[in-house]
Structure 1
Amino acid sequence: MKNLAVLIPAYNEEMTIAKVVKDVQGAIADIDGAAVYVYDNNSADKTAALAKEAGAIVRHEYAQGKGAVIRRMFREIDARAYIMLDADDTYPVEAIPEMYAKVMDRQADMVVGDRLSSTYFEQNKRPFHNVGNSMVRAMINHLFKTDIRDILTGYRAFSYRFVKTFPVLSRGFEIETEMSIHATEKNLLVDTVVVNYRDRPDGSVSKLNTFGDGLKVVKTVINLYRGYHPFAFYGSFSLLALLAATILFVLRVGIPYAQTHLVDNMPSLVVAMILFVGALIAFFSGSILNAIQTNDKRSFELALIRAADRQKDLENAE
């Protein structure tokens, strides 16, 4: 079992991968039991060969997508602490010892490398990314009542119990959003290290699609909110349907009936009843799913205990 595993997912990063590996090796030189892993995700260039030549342990994930790579990394590697960073040379490796210490000494489950509080908005040359990062951060912090300052950063540190209990559901770049929401919803300890971001070097091309990946992130946030807060999600639809049913019934049925004692607008009455039934269905659906979610939280706490026991067994086996 390693003390520290540095995980680098890589896809067509031959321009920067060797420098990133060597820089990381320099940053972890004083940490006993540390290793650098590069997971190549079907690169069409020399990424894997250059990473191996630079001294990294190279492995492969053939299912395309960053989420698939992270699933493979988290399942295969056992370590007391993990650092994950991108292979594009945009993150300062000098922050690794501090992030590692927060996991080992302060028992943080996830440490976020916060770019947005430092140089991101000056260094990043894609203005829509700046807007997107700010919007996603505001939406998640509002919906999930948290205060994570950089939701989409690819520079993070993790504890063993986070890695071994995190269910990887996303396949693409929305995985960072999933990690952030999972940590806050499961009451895991999240810490922050402010890091200086630098944009990609000239000639290095980002794999992100501003609008396509942005829509995937928003969809992920909505789906996770529905999953973690089903009563609030379905309750909002129930309330809207109930208000619409009440207004329609009063204006189109109730008031005319009080004047004529006749139901002159039968279609309006039918629609109002349908909306009322829909409100009841949404309310009870949210209530049932909320009970299931509560039970899921209990199960997760037991999973944390099992992960801690397995970590002790691995340490005792050394």
Structure 2
Amino acid sequence: MDNGEIRADSLERGGEVITMTERTREISADEVCVLVPTLDEAATIGDVIDGFYEQGYANVVIVDGNSDDDTREIASDRGAQVLVQSGDGKGQAVREALEYVDVPYVLMVDGDGTYDPADADRMLEPLSRGYEHVIGNRFADMDDDAMRALNGFGNRLINRSFRFIHGADYDDILSGYRAFTTDSFERLSLDSDGFTIETELAVECVKHGVDTAVVPVSYSARPEESETNLHPVKDGGTIIFALYSLAKTNNPLFYFGSLGVSGIVSGGFVAAYVLWRWIQYGAGHEILALVSAAAILLGVQLLMFGVLSDMLVTLHREQRRRLEQITRETNGRDRDGE
């Protein structure tokens, strides 16, 4: 790919296939850091590192969560840079590792051997077109035994919930294969420590208007000697809760509106019960009547607060887009004047 080449091609953005004609620039392997968060991945980490070396990516950084096996030793013997995270959880590991990255592009991948290093160029290609974040869609080319039925159901449920709550379709928000610019990562407000880091990344991309692409990647089953650190029910519930709680700042109308509607509906049921008891038996329930009135009033207030918050968020996004447009135009004039 030549520097400054104009390319026209099809690419998937949030589930929608679009045709793009944009100026591209060549991304050198020296500009890419392959970031691999690990925890007890001794059975696979050597092959993962070797796979990226074979693709020409020599800058491999392992950020390890204090593994009990030989993960760090194997990675070091393979020539990778090894960091030991100071805290716990994948999210904390990624945030800490980015403080040491001094190149403009990051290719983040799990160390369990399920992702194919041969897809690295495909993952990075959208960044050369101006995209800032890329998600590898595992469902595009997944081995039959790569994901259990319960995990597959949970993944699809989470993706649909994300699409409904946050209004974007990224196909596979839980994918561990990501490519992004360090500049875009610094704009995100991330505080997740565990496996919800992928969910938070997706939500923050929507919230901050990060230009995100989705590309198909291969996804294989874990080797038999490699054990997963995921707990489908526990971690799935945590991710669903994170999707809902993150709507507080990204889609406040949904967040506060759902709480408000719940309050109005529950108060209405209590009020209907009080009215039925009074009509049927002539018995009054003053306390329940007060509870129903309070619930309905609180629900209405939350609904109104959600509408106002949504207006503020919309205004903030519009102002941010205008500032970014002014910045791009100013930078363009500066380049033309050089």
TM-score interval, smaller chain: 0.7 to 0.9
The one-letter amino acid of 1:100's match is: L
Instruction: Name the structure 2 match of 1:157.
Output: 179
Matched-pair contact (CA < 8 Å) for 2:271–2:292 = yes
Instruction: Name the structure 1 match of 2:232.
Output: 210
Shift of 1:298: 7.6
Q: Deviations over 1:216-248 (max 9, x none)?
A: 111111111233222322223323433554576
User: How do 1:11-160 residues align onto structure 2 when only pairs under 5 Å count?
Assistant: 11-28=39-56, 35-103=59-127, 105-120=128-143, 122-160=144-182
- CA–CA distance in structure 1, aligned partners of residues 214 and 164 of structure 2: 19
- CA–CA distance in structure 2, aligned partners of residues 304 and 168 of structure 1: 21
- CA–CA distance in structure 2, aligned partners of residues 197 and 6 of structure 1: 18
Give the TM-score, by structure 2 length.
Answer: 0.77
Residue 196 of structure 2: which of 170, 174, 193 is its match? 174
Match of 2:169, SS? coil
Q: Deviations over 1:13-58 (max 9, x none)?
A: 11111111111011125xxxx6111112101122112111112111
Shift of 1:249: 5.2
Matched-pair contact (CA < 8 Å) for 2:277–2:284 = no
Match of 2:233, SS? helix
Instruction: Name the structure 1 match of 2:16.
Output: none
- CA–CA distance in structure 2, aligned partners of residues 58 and 157 of structure 1: 20
User: How do 1:297-308 residues align onto structure 2 when only pairs under 5 Å count?
Assistant: 297=317
More strand by percentage? 2
Matched-pair contact (CA < 8 Å) for 1:242–1:275 = yes
Instruction: Name the structure 1 match of 2:297.
Output: 277
Q: Percent identity?
A: 23
The one-letter amino acid of 2:55's match is: A
Matched-pair contact (CA < 8 Å) for 1:253–1:263 = no
Matched-pair contact (CA < 8 Å) for 1:253–1:268 = no
User: How do 1:243-254 residues align onto structure 2 when only pairs under 5 Å count?
Assistant: 243=265, 245=267, 252=274
- CA–CA distance in structure 1, aligned partners of residues 224 and 275 of structure 2: 68
Matched-pair contact (CA < 8 Å) for 2:139–2:172 = yes
Matched-pair contact (CA < 8 Å) for 2:132–2:212 = yes
- CA–CA distance in structure 2, aligned partners of residues 240 and 172 of structure 1: 30
- CA–CA distance in structure 1, aligned partners of residues 228 and 273 of structure 2: 56
The one-letter amino acid of 2:103's match is: A
Shift of 1:7: 0.4
* Cα 1:176/1:303, change in 2 over 3 Å: farther
- CA–CA distance in structure 2, aligned partners of residues 191 and 22 of structure 1: 27
- CA–CA distance in structure 2, aligned partners of residues 303 and 24 of structure 1: 38
Matched-pair contact (CA < 8 Å) for 2:166–2:250 = no
- CA–CA distance in structure 2, aligned partners of residues 61 and 300 of structure 1: 34
Instruction: Name the structure 1 match of 2:8.
Output: none
The worse-fitting range, judged by mean Cα deviation, of 204-213 and 179-188 is 179-188
Stretches of structure 2 that go unaligned for 5 or more consecutive residues are 1-27, 329-338
- CA–CA distance in structure 2, aligned partners of residues 206 and 154 of structure 1: 13
Matched-pair contact (CA < 8 Å) for 1:39–1:60 = yes
Instruction: Name the structure 2 match of 1:219.
Output: 241
Matched, 1:232 2:254: yes
Q: Deviations over 1:58-77 (max 9, x none)?
A: 12113121011101122221
The worse-fitting range, judged by mean Cα deviation, of 153-162 and 279-288 is 279-288
The worse-fitting range, judged by mean Cα deviation, of 288-297 and 226-235 is 288-297
Matched-pair contact (CA < 8 Å) for 2:37–2:90 = yes
Shift of 1:151: 1.3
Q: Deviations over 1:243-265 (max 9, x none)?
A: 554576578559979xxxx9955
Matched-pair contact (CA < 8 Å) for 1:74–1:164 = no
The worse-fitting range, judged by mean Cα deviation, of 279-288 and 169-178 is 279-288
Matched-pair contact (CA < 8 Å) for 1:161–1:304 = no
The one-letter amino acid of 1:282's match is: L
Stretches of structure 1 that go unaligned for 5 or more consecutive residues are 309-318
Matched, 1:5 2:27: no
Shift of 1:133: 0.9
Question: How big is the alpha-carbon RMSD for the aligned residues of Structure 1 and Structure 2?
Answer: 3.1
Instruction: Name the structure 2 match of 1:312.
Output: none
